């Protein structure tokens, strides 16, 4: 399998600071790979240096998944959320429109007045 990422631990903080200084440009999207010399690459590929998250915050089952696949999954979940949200807004709008149409057809609401009278009469002693 291809190497997709690695976690490196340091014995001393000064070692971490040294490596962070050496790879400070690695997070630049466009220029980062061009600013790394051959001695800063892994098998010819540019490296990106990030502080590691806590082990409990890592989704280990997705760790061997390429970043393009993770982005695709994230995009699909976002698209699914938007579709569900639009369906809910459409349903609520149609319900409101239907209620307005029903009120426009019977503006006196005599049916609702009878129900209120019956409920009110049942509640009285």
For 77-99, how does the pLDDT look when each residue is reduced to its tens digit (9 = 90+)? Answer: 999 999 999 999 999 999 999 88
* Cβ pair 25, 35 in contact under 8 A: yes
Is it the case that residue 56 has pLDDT exceeding 90?
no
Taken in order 78, 83, 89, 92, is the CA torsion positive or negative? negative
The model's pLDDT over 40-49, given as tens digits with 9 standing for 90+, comes to 676 666 667 7
- Report the run of H or E that residue 67 belongs to, with start and end: helix 67-105
Q: What percent of the chain clears pLDDT 70, i.e. is strictly above it? A: 59
- Using the predicted structure, report yes or no on whether residue 57 has a pLDDT greater than 60: yes
pTM attached to this predicted model: 0.43
pLDDT band at 3; cut points 50, 70, 90: low
What is the chain's Cα-based Rg?
31
């Amino acid at each position: 399998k291809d190497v997709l990422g690695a976690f490196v631990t340091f014995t001393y903080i000064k070692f971490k600071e040294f490596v962070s200084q050496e790879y400070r440009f690695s997070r630049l999207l466009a220029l980062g790979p061009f600013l790394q010399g051959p001695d800063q690459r892994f098998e010819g590929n540019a490296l990106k240096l990030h502080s590691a998250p806590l082990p409990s915050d890592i989704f280990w089952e997705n760790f061997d998944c390429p970043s393009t696949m993770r982005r695709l999954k994230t995009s699909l979940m976002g698209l699914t959320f938007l579709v569900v949200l639009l369906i809910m807004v459409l349903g609520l709008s149609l319900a409101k429109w239907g209620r307005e149409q029903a009120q426009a057809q019977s503006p006196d609401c005599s049916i609702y007045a009878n129900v209120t009278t019956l409920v009110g009469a049942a509640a009285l002693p």
